[in-house]
């Protein structure tokens, strides 16, 4: 079982991630372990070991132990799990996952998602640098939340072409 915590304001990344897992038939649980679950979403205030922590908003302390930290590079963080593998996302051009060719219209925001460095998924697969198109319906997620969701999805082994079906 992979434990996940997501620090964000309105739970939009978390809700979309859980919806995607349900649609893909992947089992998960919230706050308590279930033997048949692949993912366990834990509240940040529990000092338990995490496999993945997504930090869209600064929190302190985010978790105990080693983990993969998915960090919004556009925000200032005073601390994060320093004994972790760091994967960044945001509009910062040095981010691991960033966006280009952003087009905002009334119905949707579309952009090219750029994976700038290879990452290893939670299932151990290597994902090479690439670009792929993403369209988000207006009002669902802002661009940074969408990048956070895509980054977490890539770690969960969601294929880039599957993001067209999610939104």
- The pLDDT value given to residue 2: 87
- The pLDDT value given to residue 61: 56
Total-model pTM = 0.88
- The pLDDT value given to residue 134: 92
- The pLDDT value given to residue 64: 61
Give the domain ranges of the chain.
2-166
What is the residue-level pLDDT of the chain in tens, covering all 167 positions?
Answer: 888 989 888 889 999 999 988 888 888 888 777 777 889 898 877 767 788 888 887 776 556 667 888 888 888 776 665 667 889 999 999 999 999 999 988 888 889 999 999 999 988 999 999 999 999 888 888 899 999 999 999 999 999 888 877 77
Q: Which CATH architecture has domain 2-166?
A: 3-Layer(aba) Sandwich (3.40)
For the chain, give the number of residues.
Answer: 167
Q: Edge-to-edge strand order for the sheet containing 85-89?
A: 28-30, 39-41, 2-7, 52-55, 68-72, 85-89, 97-104, 108-115, 130-137
């Amino acid at each position: 079982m992979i434990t996940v915590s997501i620090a964000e304001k309105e739970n939009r990344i978390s809700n979309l991630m859980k919806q995607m897992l349900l649609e893909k038939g992947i089992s998960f649980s919230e706050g308590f372990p279930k033997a048949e679950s692949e993912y366990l979403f834990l509240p940040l205030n529990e000092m338990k070991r995490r496999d993945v922590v997504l930090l869209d908003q600064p929190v302190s302390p985010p978790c105990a132990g080693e983990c993969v930290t998915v960090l919004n590079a556009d925000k200032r963080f005073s601390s994060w799990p320093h004994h972790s593998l760091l994967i960044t996302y945001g509009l910062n051009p040095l981010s691991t996952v960033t966006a280009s060719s952003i087009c905002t219209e009334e119905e949707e925001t579309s952009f090219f998602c750029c994976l700038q460095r290879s990452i290893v998924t939670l299932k151990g697969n290597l994902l090479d640098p690439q670009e792929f198109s993403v369209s988000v319906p207006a009002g669902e997620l802002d661009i940074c939340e969408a990048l956070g969701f895509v980054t977490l999805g890539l770690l969960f082994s969601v294929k880039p072409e599957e993001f067209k079906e999610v939104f």
